[in-house]
């Protein structure tokens, strides 16, 4: 059965038990030097979330027979977080047992980044789905995505009509690719978790005075992945020939084991 209109109807019942994240403040420095290498640092969690039902991979899952063969698969640009499971926690089957794909944000409508390996004419439809902690769809229907100028790295921002993410809550998102209409096979998909956190007043004051390049470093060091990659990705999109930005992009993706994607072109795509 295809993942198409309403995910809960196809038995995507999540049993994730979420815990709070303790927000890591930015380093207490008078001024962040732009010469600092961009390196993502995992945030500290007060309690690890349960693995049951949690996304534990960032590459496309599903029946690939309907999609063309590619050298680099559909990939979500998101960190894989290693977990220290206790004996009572259930380990998933046929997956890396001690990891989940998780990104933090301070934005009420964050942007998500993917490597999309297909040309527009090779696909039938692309959709984005966002679920809350109770497995309810945040939007009435999956958000259709218009793909253009691919293969390459794309970004998808939640539309302004979507209910803003609430601070302190986890959301489970799905990026779904249907390569052939009327097919009975499952959509190709990648998924992950996102949580909105609130920066403190000291951070807010620095955000008002820092340059975009400095914000990237601060967000990355604080473990705020979605905003670090979004600011840097937009800078790279506007200035693709800037060697300094290219080096920062390489460093950021390398820090989450995605260096093999860092050389791919960032496209103007996409629009919900």
What are the pLDDT digits (tens) for 125-143? 999 999 998 889 998 789 9
Q: Check residue 47 and give its pLDDT.
A: 57
Under 8 Å between Cβ of 263 and 151: no
Total residue length of the chain: 272
- Which of 52 and 141 is assigned the larger pLDDT? 141
Q: Check residue 49 and give its pLDDT.
A: 59
Q: Is the pLDDT of residue 100 over 70?
A: yes
Q: Is the pLDDT of residue 245 over 90?
A: yes
Q: CA angle, corner 183, sides to 180 and 185, nearest 5?
A: 105
Torsion sign over Cα 231, 233, 237, 239: positive
Tokens read off for 177: 């690719």
Q: Is the pLDDT of residue 190 over 80?
A: yes
Q: Check residue 208 and give its pLDDT.
A: 82
Q: Check residue 199 and give its pLDDT.
A: 84
Omega before 158 within 30 of 0, i.e. cis: no
Q: Is the pLDDT of residue 92 over 90?
A: no
pLDDT tens across 6-47, in order? Answer: 444 433 333 333 334 344 444 444 344 456 789 999 998 665
Q: Check residue 21 and give its pLDDT.
A: 39
Q: Is the pLDDT of residue 75 over 60?
A: yes
Q: Check residue 23 and give its pLDDT.
A: 44
Q: Check residue 202 and give its pLDDT.
A: 66
- Which of 257 and 272 is assigned the larger pLDDT? 257
pLDDT band at 237 (very low <50, low <70, confident <90, very high): very high
> Is residue 272 in some structural domain?
no
Q: Check residue 11 and give its pLDDT.
A: 39
Give the domain extent around 249.
7-254
Q: Check residue 251 and give its pLDDT.
A: 97
Q: Of 99-108, 109-118, 176-185, which range is least confident?
A: 176-185
Encode the chain in three state secondary structure: CCCCCCHHHHCCCCCCCCCCECCCCCCCCCCCCCCCCCCCCCCCECCCCCCCCCCCCCECECCCCCCCCCCCCCEECCCEEECCCCCCCCCCCCCCCCEEEEEEECCCCCEEEEEECCCHHHCCEEEEEEECCCCCECCCCCEECECCCCCEEEEEECCCCCCCCCECCEEEEEEEEECCCCCCCCCEEEEEEEEECCCCHHHHHHHHHCCHHHHHHHHHHCCCHHHHHHHHHHHHHHCCCCHHHHHHHHHHHHCCCCCCCCCCCECCCCEC
Q: What number is the average pLDDT over the span 259-265? A: 96
39: domain CATH number is: 2.60.40.1930
Number of domain units in the chain: 1
Which residue is it, tokens 């794309």?
Answer: 154
Q: Check residue 54 and give its pLDDT.
A: 67
> Is residue 265 in some structural domain?
no
Q: Check residue 8 and give its pLDDT.
A: 43
Q: Is the pLDDT of residue 232 over 90?
A: yes
> Is residue 263 in some structural domain?
no
> Is residue 267 in some structural domain?
no
Which residue is it, tokens 């997956």?
Answer: 95
Q: Check residue 35 and give its pLDDT.
A: 60
Tokens read off for 149: 């100028």
> Is residue 211 in some structural domain?
yes
- Which of 64 and 116 is assigned the larger pLDDT? 116
pLDDT tens across 199-218, in order? Answer: 877 678 888 889 999 999 99
> Is residue 271 in some structural domain?
no
Q: Is the pLDDT of residue 239 over 50?
A: yes
């Amino acid at each position: 059965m295809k993942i198409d209109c309403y995910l809960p109807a196809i038995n995507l019942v999540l049993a994730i038990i979420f815990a709070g994240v303790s927000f890591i403040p930015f380093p207490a420095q008078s001024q962040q030097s732009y010469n600092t290498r961009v390196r993502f640092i995992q945030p500290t969690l007060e309690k690890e979330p349960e693995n049951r039902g949690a996304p534990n991979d960032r590459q496309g899952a599903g029946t690939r027979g309907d999609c063309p063969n590619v050298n680099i698969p559909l990939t979500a640009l998101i960190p894989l977080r290693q977990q220290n499971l206790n004996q009572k926690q259930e380990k998933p089957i046929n997956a890396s047992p001690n990891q989940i794909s998780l990104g933090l944000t301070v934005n009420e409508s964050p942007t998500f980044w993917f490597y999309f390996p297909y040309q527009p004419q090779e696909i039938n439809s692309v959709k984005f789905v966002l679920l809350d902690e109770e497995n309810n769809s945040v939007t009435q229907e999956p958000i259709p995505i218009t793909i253009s100028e691919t293969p390459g790295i794309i970004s998808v921002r939640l539309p302004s009509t979507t209910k803003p993410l609430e601070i302190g809550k986890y959301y489970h998102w799905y990026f779904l690719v249907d390569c052939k209409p009327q097919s009975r096979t499952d959509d190709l998909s990648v998924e992950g978790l996102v949580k909105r956190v609130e920066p403190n007043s000291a951070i807010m004051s620095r955000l008002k005075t820092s340059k975009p390049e400095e914000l990237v470093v601060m967000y990355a060091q604080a473990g705020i992945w979605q905003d670090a990659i979004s600011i840097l990705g937009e800078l790279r999109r506007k200035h693709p020939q800037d060697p300094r930005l290219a080096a920062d992009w390489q460093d950021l993706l390398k820090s989450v084991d995605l260096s093999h994607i860092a050389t791919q072109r960032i496209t103007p795509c996409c629009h919900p």
